[in-house]
Structure 1
Amino acid sequence: MRRILVDNISSGMKLAKPLYNAEGMVLLNAGIELKEQLTDRLEELDVTYVYIEDDLTRDVDVPDVISEKTRIEAVANAKKIMEQIKLGRGIDAAQAKQIAGGIIDELCKNKGVMVNFLDMRTRSDYLFSHAVNVCVLAVMTGICLDYDELQLQDLGVGALLHDVGKVLISPEVLNKQDRLTPQEKEEVKKHPALGFEILRKNPDISLGSAHCALEHHECFDGSGYPQGLKAAEIHPFAQIVAIADMYDALISDAAYRRAIPVYEALAIIAKAGASCFDRELVAIFTDNIATYPIGSIVRLSNNQIGVVVDISRESKAKPVVRILFDENKRHITELTELDLSKNQRLYIADVVER
């Protein structure tokens, strides 16, 4: 399979992974042919990318660090939790801990696996998918820091609920398709404090988890909000969640920009480490992310275009690439793979949106 822009779907292409909504219902099943009316439906749902299968990539599997079942259930339950909060019914702490626990269990079993899978999400489901992604990324970092079971649970719950204050922000502002006005930005910036108040009132949620909501927009140099905390003043859990939050936001579509390729997002995170984050945490976080995820379409330095089919932690920037088009843009029919880690002359020049 390979990842492709919905805009570039052509006749005969088939969906390689099912598309779900936040309730866990299948919107489009794997194997379905993406005819024009289905492509129009994807655009209506604000889905930008899908995974498709074709003859040259049929055997390419894009691994996820958690199972499809766990991811679907986590997103659906995250939505339930937030909807209950919006209705003024408080947080179901037991459900939040169950979600985090399931993610922790799977990540502990899959130690060493890098993040490759980029989930397909509708824009309306962003908040819930984002919550689960941030939880996954934060827990992976916590595992690398040798956090114990209780620390991982508190970090996981805090990461899952870090944006819970947004349910109290006006939907018109939160879902606005254009850039926010200064006044609207100030309204959105209230969500950390709002989230903290929601979490700290629940006796079954730790203060460490609550601080993930309050402090995930603080910066190491004191330029963040809402308190302008610096360095060690920021809770360690919140420092981890802040990196995960920025990373997932960068690789996701926003109202005013397309998602940024993973390698660019990692470069931005690394640069931000000088002012926003702890450099050591950034290094640990980025070590878990595949620079060019499996299924990505890339252009090599010799202008050949291919799909990433394998990657190792030791040579993240030099994966194995299966060639799809030669340097003259002619379609390749014979299976040709290049291990860039064994080729000093070739390198990835860019990620191709096709």
Structure 2
Amino acid sequence: MLELGVKHLYIEDRYSYDIEINDAIKDSTRRTGKKIVTNTFDRIKNGFIDLNTKDLKNVVEDITDELVLNEDVLLNLVSLKSTSDYTYEHSVNVSVVCIALGKMLGYSKSELYKLGMGGMLHDIGKTLIPEEILNKPAKLTDHEFEIIKNHPELGFNYLQQIESISPLSRIVVYSHHERVDGSGYPRGLKGDEIHEFARVAAIADVFDALTSDRVYRDRWPTYKAAEYIMNHTEQLFDYQLVKKFLPQVSFYPNGSEVILSSGHRAVVRTQNVGFPTRPVLRLIEDDEGNELDKELDLLKHMNIVITKVIV
């Protein structure tokens, strides 16, 4: 599995036998999305100038439909991720997060589709960047980073040729690295100068990147990535969008093993929607090491908090 770039597996034991690792979309939809993005990006790398927009359209519509019908969308993106397939899996994840957040913002289905397409294609410009730079395990030189920073404009210019891709989708590709304080690229836009779709995509892009294994670092736990987003609100990310985003995130995904302020060890069993830091737990060990098998709902025990994530 390590040779395939997979560093994390879910292992079922007597404490987690009935715990569901839920995804916001169907596995089949995710696999189809990854396959289509892979084929699309590979064609561009090989010099083809056309896109199979029909397949892209179909899978983004499927993702949109599934998320619209899912009343209680909780984003648990810490599934089996491969470092070797990062770009393709990341593209699908960013599309999912964009659509989920857009739904919370009250976007129409047409707007969700255009936002989701932008998320799916946001890194398309990286197909035109040398792979030895993209996959470099060491720190990039200043020159290499400047090359990487060209990818939004490269992707935008490429998509200008594709009439079936909405201008709103293209603006996501062009502006997903802009930051509300003006520190982003390629144009250094500030605040409302950045289209809201791109401000949504900025959150989705960074969140999924942080919770993914990369060639140069291991993934961050979900709660740590969420803290990063919170701590950089109004500097990098739009405050109002972050307020909508965070309640949708499983800070402690189902199956995570945690330590509590009471000293107990527990496994996250399920989520309390809208309260990402207060999941329902299965206690498996007390503070003296004695085995337990007891449920604890943190929403009903506000004096107890999670202090450490083991897995």
- Tell me the TM-score normalized by structure 2: 0.96
1:59 aligns to what? 18
For these two proteins, the number of residue pairs brought into alignment is 310
Q: What does 1:1-354 align with in structure 2 at a 5 Å threshold?
A: 42-89=1-48, 90-329=50-289, 332=291, 334-353=292-311
**Cα pair 2:115 2:197 within 8 Å, conserved:** yes
Once the two structures are TM-superposed, the CA of residue 231 in structure 1 deviates from its matched residue by: 1.2
Q: Quote the Cα distance in structure 1 between the aligned partners of 2:142 and 2:181.
A: 23
Gapped regions of structure 2 (runs ≥ 5): none
Q: Flag structure 1 segments of 5+ consecutive residues without an equivalent.
A: 1-41
Question: In structure 2, what is the Cα distance between the partners aligned to 1:179 and 1:85?
Answer: 26
Task: Provide closer, same or farther for how the CA distance between residues 325 and 74 of structure 1 changes in structure 2, counting only shifts above 3 A.
Answer: same
Q: CA deviation at 1:328?
A: 3.7
Cα offsets for 1:245-296 (capped at 9, x unmatched): 0000111112332211111111111122121121101111112111211111
Structure 1 CA distance for aligned equivalents of residues 141 and 284 of structure 2: 44
Q: TM-score, normalised by structure 1?
A: 0.84
Please report how far the alpha carbon of residue 329 of structure 1 lies from its aligned counterpart in structure 2 after TM superposition.
Answer: 4.1
Identical aligned residues as a percent: 39
Give the letter aligned to residue 83 of structure 1.
D
Runs of 4+ in 1 over 6 A off after TM superposition: none
Q: Which secondary structure state, in structure 2, belongs to the residue aligned with residue 106 of structure 1?
A: helix
**Residue identity opposite 1:298 in structure 2:** V
Q: Deviations over 1:285-323 (max 9, x none)?
A: 112111211111111112222110011124321211112
8 A Cα contact 1:117 1:294, kept in partner: no
Structural RMSD (CA):
1.4
Deviation at 1:117, TM superposition (A): 4.6
- Counterpart secondary structure, 2:293: coil
Letter in 1 for 2:53: A
8 A Cα contact 2:283 2:293, kept in partner: yes
Distance 2:275 2:245 in 1: 16
SS at match of 2:9: strand
